[in-house]
Amino acid sequence: MDFHTLNHRRSENQSKDEDYTPKPSKPWSFLGIINYLLREQRLFFILIGVGIATLFFSVQPDFMKPTPRLQTKVNDFVPNLGSQSLAFQSHVSADPITLLRPGAKMPLGLKKNPLRIVVTGGAGFVGSHLVDRLLARGDYVIVVDNFFTGRKENVMHHIGNPRFELIRHDVVEPLLLEVDQIYHLACPASPVHYKFNPIKTIKTNVMGTLNMLGLAKRVGARFLLTSTSEVYGDPLEHPQKEDYWGHVNPIGVRSCYDEGKRVAETLAMDYNRGANVEVRIARIFNTYGPRMGIDDGRVVSNFVAQALRKEPMTIYGDGKQTRSFQYVADLVEGLMRLMEGEHIGPVNLGNPGEFTMLELAEVVKETIDPQAKTEFRPNTQDDPHKRKPDITRAKNLLGWEPKISLREGLPLMVDDFRRRLFNESKGSSA
């Protein structure tokens, strides 16, 4: 091809390019899209792709990042009664695959992830019942206890369960664990026990709570404090509402416990405001039930054990002081609702049924032995004269109220005490 021919073809091509006008773009229409998908088996290949992805994620649910820990935003210190997002998340028992992978992401609408939960004081009376419920729900539970008042027998029935661990540890010393929630119960609750070594009691309340709040802060766990009606002291208001600040002797023999718990509440609130730790505060009123220490010195356990042993029931003072007794299963339900809900508290958890000690002795007589005797002893220092919870807040915010009356709950405790005292059957109480 000579030079002229080449030039001629180039100029021909150039003029063709200049003549070119692009196709006008068609407006998008629904039918157009359907036609496009149906052409060249496009729809078929898309469906195959979706099928493969679905299969892959259902076999490997934890392929994606672990679910972030429970990070519910908390409301104000005094929660808004209007926004009652109760949100009691029921964690149904999970299957073995999800149990093996605590952080596993699950398909929407299916089971919730099991949580990793520490229960300090979990070998004690209340703690062991809480542990039963959490394990039954499908969660992983680590009990941290120094066995001061707790007993291994209370949790023995979980030994061998791969979701259960028991650590002998004193909460006065720091501890590092990876968990989602901390139920902080570690503290002797019976006056006899907390007065036995008051310095240790206040250390447990202050340093123990500091350590557990520090742990919560470090790992981003939610923290629940089991405070007490003792923060109201010998109350001047009756019944006691959560906004009552109390009437407490700061230098008495009960102060290691009362003031200790008040400081523990302060610490919880300071960690919430200052370090964004999600906290919950339960103020627990007198609780009874199976697994109470037989000789732990509290009034219900004393009266029941004494009546069963055919000893006189020891009434301190004139017996006209009052208490409100709640059955342990009611309390555990309230604690779990508080932990899972949106409200910091403090929330009273107690049974408003109020009894004098003389009346309590009568109920124990009816339940165990109509011939049972009583004897009077001097009362202890700073003993509160009356106590009864106002549970309006728990009702409104948690949808909780106790279900079991003293006359219904006492026989359940008596069965357990009878077995343990007279060894009618071996093994742990239900």
**150 phi/psi in degrees, rounded to 5:** -85, 165
Give me the residues that bind ligand UDP (CB under 6 A), please: 191, 286, 298-299, 302, 314-316, 321, 323, 357, 379-380, 383
Task: Please list the residues that pair with 181 across neighbouring strands.
Answer: 117, 222
Rounded Cα distance between 198 and 203, Å, is 8
Helix (H) or strand (E) segment spanning residue 375: strand 374-377
Active site residues: 257
- Rounded Cα distance between 255 and 25, Å, is 84
Give the span between the Cα atoms of 416 and 125, in whole angstroms.
12
Q: How far is the CB of 370 from ligand NAD (least distance, A)?
A: 27
Least separation in angstroms between residue 234's CB and ligand UDP is: 10
Question: Is 321 within 8 Å of 384 (Cβ atoms)?
Answer: yes
Q: Contact between 191 and ligand NAD (CB under 6 A)? A: no
68: exposed, middle or buried (Cβ count in 10 Å: 0-12, 13-18, 19+)? exposed
Which of ligand NAD, ligand UDP, none does residue 355 bind to, with CB < 5 to 8 Å depending on kind? none
Collapsing DSSP to helix, strand or coil, 90 comes out as: coil
Residues 252-311 that bind ligand NAD (CB under 6 A): 284, 286-287
Q: What are phi and psi of 305, to 5 degrees?
A: -65, -40
Q: What angle do CA 372, 374, 380 make, to 5 degrees?
A: 145
User: Under rule CB under 6 A, which residues in 399-428 are in contact with ligand NAD?
Assistant: none
Integer CA distances (angstroms), 247 to 147, 237, 384, in order: 32, 9, 10
Residues 352-391 that bind ligand NAD (CB under 6 A): none
Nearest-approach distance from CB 347 to ligand NAD, in angstroms: 13
CB of 294 to ligand NAD, least distance (A): 12
Query: What 3-state class would DSSP assign to 141?
Result: strand
- From ligand NAD, ligand UDP, none, interface partner of 88 (C-beta below 5 to 8 A by class): none
In the bound state with ligand NAD, the residue whose beta carbon lies nearer, of 104 and 179, is 179
Query: Judged by CB under 6 A, does residue 327 bind ligand NAD?
Result: no
Q: Is 228 in the site for ligand NAD (CB under 6 A)?
A: yes
CB of 343 to ligand UDP, least distance (A): 25
Residues 95-154 that bind ligand NAD (CB under 6 A): 120-121, 123-127, 145-150
The DSSP code sequence of 294-306 is TTS--HHHHHHHH
CB nearer to ligand NAD: give 116 or 193: 193
Q: Which residues bind ligand NAD (CB under 6 A)?
A: 120-121, 123-127, 145-150, 170-172, 185-189, 204, 208, 226, 228, 284, 286-287
